[in-house]
Structure 1
């Protein structure tokens, strides 16, 4: 669900909005919506007739993290050597399952939506702020917050799943308002740098070194 503050009055919530996670949740169990994003691009769903395993995961909230038990099921579709598991979808409890070992509260992820949309907050400073908040929680044992790189990856994965209805038009002006004001930043070179050798930064030179592309680990397949 989108954050409550960015929804229009006429928009409907697709499922009951869960309460923010303030305490350590109970064991996260498999349900009918549990699935695995298989390596072949397909998706395998939870089968109650097959065996399951219980592992430990970390649940990150807005103020601290908890070690919680999570129920998983070996994926029957993926190759065994890939060690892929069908994991639960705990959205009804306000949690986002990123990779079966790291779970994040909707409140935490929506907090960053609020931060960057109101004050243009970059990822790293915001992660640093949350890390300091975790340190002040005096949790025993202490579980630190994640790195900026991991948070960036999981936040974009979460943002792709937020169900915006696409009808953010003004209720007063409609779809085609009479006047539109655009605000942005113009990027240009200073006059002293303008000469005959100035070229766009995207232009590839004749003597440019060609590097082979690097593989991207931990890719996640998402359907259109």
Structure 2
């Protein structure tokens, strides 16, 4: 439900920007990284997403004729970063999120790269359902299988040695920016804001999303069955 709209939005945006076959790689990597951060950060992610949605909606209501999507994203990211710096979240620090984000980025790039390699040999472009079913199932299994290694790597790279408030503010800024950008992608074009690449990508994304979500749900069910059948370790304790 989360990965499919993210991936669909990135695909349409990168296609309109002319990235060609690299579109799948970039879109899958970014969607995987953001999804991993969102699920890994837990309460921090919920707060950041709420900030992003509220800021995005407020700006579109008050300054609809004077803003671009990047201004909405930056405003939400700045507010969330300030909240992350000023407030403590004592339940659990989000030090593990950089490692999980690296895992999502790497596995997403691998799966997107595979799609980019094989699609030219297919007589028709892959459907949104097929793409999301493949990505969510395969990427999900690869993520669970490798995330512990990526978390250990992030520790060796000292990604987790930074103060907790620094890590959390960066995580919150990223997720809030994504949430605000998503609000704009869904609502902005409906009120005729910023005609151009962003609006074209958003219009195309609206057509792709229903089948993409169905594909994501199907892929998630397949991934869940595989993880349960082969008894993969849970990653909620990382």
Q: TM-score range by the shorter chain?
A: under 0.3
TM-score w.r.t. the length of structure 2 is 0.23
TM-score by length of 1: 0.24
* Higher relative contact order (CA closer than 8 Å, sequence separation 6+): 2
Q: Is the radius of gyration larger for structure 1 or structure 2?
A: 1
- Richer in helix (by share): 2
Q: Which has the higher strand share?
A: 1
